[in-house]
Amino acid sequence: MGIFSNILSKLGFGDAKKEPAAEVAPAAEAPATPQAAPAPVAISVIDVVAKLDGLASAHAEKLNWKVSIVDLMKLLDLDSSLAARKDLATELGCPADKMSDSAQMNIWLHKTVLQKLADNGGNIPADMLD
């Protein structure tokens, strides 16, 4: 399991229970009319901001997760060391020129993590994705 998968898990992505499969009637009992295609399943939205703000308010240390990847990782009780952040940056495809400068990598990483959370159904305000 990758670091980003751990972030998703800590925020509750993928926690929704899947609907049990409908029982299939034997061929002899099948209705004569064709079945309609199942409706597409909507992605459930996770209120990332509310979850992280809630964790931040209960945390002993004042963490500014809205601007700091280190604070975001600490808030989720993940390893926030430079080595862990480099692993996450590599996992998410950080450009090589940003990997050599930890400040640039951290900025890229924070924006990319928020964007990927939004891509996975996280409710992230547009101003945090710019």
CA dihedral 74, 92, 103, 47 (to 10 degrees): -50
User: Are residues 121 and 44 in contact, defined by beta-carbon separation less than 8 angstroms?
Assistant: yes
For every one of its 130 residues, what pLDDT tens digit does the chain have, with 9 covering 90 and above?
799 999 999 999 876 443 333 344 444 554 555 555 555 444 567 899 999 999 999 999 999 999 999 999 999 999 999 999 999 999 999 999 999 999 999 999 999 999 999 999 999 999 998 7
* Model confidence pTM above 0.85: no
Which DSSP helix (H) or strand (E) runs through 57? Answer: helix 48-58
